[in-house]
Amino acid sequence: MKAHTMSIINSIVLITVSAWGYFSSDSPSITALIPLFFGVALILCYPGVKNENKIVSHIAVLLTLLILFALFMPLNGAIGRGDSQARNRIVLMLLSSAVSMVYFIKSFIAARKNK
């Protein structure tokens, strides 16, 4: 699988799981939609990542890294509340973002080797 494919999968996971969490909540908060906004931004980066544009690819990596780190605070909150559904949704978004980062790193290493 290529980095651009994993990036679009990550985007879809962020968007759908974030929206699911927001709309299934008894007291929804706009902050639950932050991963959704990151997912939309990653989709907007998709054409550049697919065409191997360095700047756009680095922006996509930065966005992925930011959301990866940003999801740890909600995870701690979900664990503290004992909310297993929220915990599972956040872990799913963390896993897809982490795998996406791995594919980005692999693609950057391959691009450097090909140089």
Q: How large is the average pLDDT for residues 20-44? A: 91
- Name the band, by pLDDT with cuts 50, 70 and 90, for residue 39: very high
Q: 3-state DSSP call for residue 38?
A: helix
Q: Do the Cβ atoms of 90 and 72 come closer than 8 Å?
A: no
Total of domains in the chain: 1
Q: Which domain holds residue 45?
A: 3-114
- What is the DSSP code string of 53-104? -HHHHHHHHHHHHHHHHHTHHHHHHHHHHT-HHHHHHHHHHHHHHHHHHHHH
- Name the band, by pLDDT with cuts 50, 70 and 90, for residue 26: confident
Q: Do the Cβ atoms of 39 and 12 come closer than 8 Å?
A: yes
Q: Which two tokens stand for residue 104?
A: 């980005």
| Per-residue model confidence as pLDDT tens digits over 54-104 | 899 999 999 999 999 999 999 999 899 998 999 999 999 999 999 999 999
